[in-house]
Amino acid sequence: MGRGAVIREKYESTCSGYDELYRAEQYEKYFVALKRVRPRGKVLDAGCGTGLLLEYIASQGALEAVDSYTCLDYSQCMLGIARYRIGVLCGQDRCTALEGNVERLPFADRVFDAVYSFTVLDLVDDLWSAVNELIRVSRGPVVVSMLKKLPYKEELLEAGAQILGVTGKDVIMRVDMLRGV
């Protein structure tokens, strides 16, 4: 079984308790990131999980600046919860949830005004493929989080990523200036 399949299986089996286990940790990352890069226009949440970022944006009154919101995740179970959240917070006319892989995004070039990807780069098979895909689909900022302890965060920093802030476990970075790496 490949790494992607193992990760998908893990998230499929734990998705019902994900929010309870990780909401506070994720909200801490969102607070750090969104005070520096506010969502606006067309937004992509790449690796959306259960849609906690959408919930956070709505709770902060920032959803009115968002024209469309796309949740993308690898796990059908997580997407099911995200779709419920979309129905409650945003509606199908403005928000959508799609299955997909951040290393092969199913979007045209430069279609999103802001791209967020929290706790995803830690899990990909090819860091640079994922980063380049996130950059490719954005015409604006690309914000990612990664565990502080991971060695490839240094690769991103050496390539010119900008640190937006840190949390207990993670570093939040802006990587859109790395175009063409």
Residue 11 pLDDT: 66
Ordered structural domains, the chain, with CATH: 3-12+21-178 (3.40.50.150)
Residue 168 pLDDT: 93
pLDDT digits (tens, 9 = 90+) for 109-156: 999 999 999 999 988 989 999 999 999 999 999 999 999 998 888 899
Rg (CA), the chain: 15
Find out whether 117 and 102 touch, Cβ atoms under 8 Å: yes
Helix axes 3-34, 52-59, angle to 10 degrees: 10
Residue 68 pLDDT: 97
Phi-psi group of 50: left, alpha or beta (phi > 0 → left; psi -120 to 50 → alpha; rest → beta)? alpha
Find out whether 80 and 14 touch, Cβ atoms under 8 Å: no
CA dihedral 57, 144, 8, 104 (to 10 degrees): 110
Residue 16 pLDDT: 82
- The pTM (predicted TM-score) of the whole model is 0.93
pLDDT digits (tens, 9 = 90+) for 54-106: 999 999 999 999 999 999 998 999 999 999 999 999 977 999 999 999 999 99
Is 180 a residue whose pLDDT tops 80? no
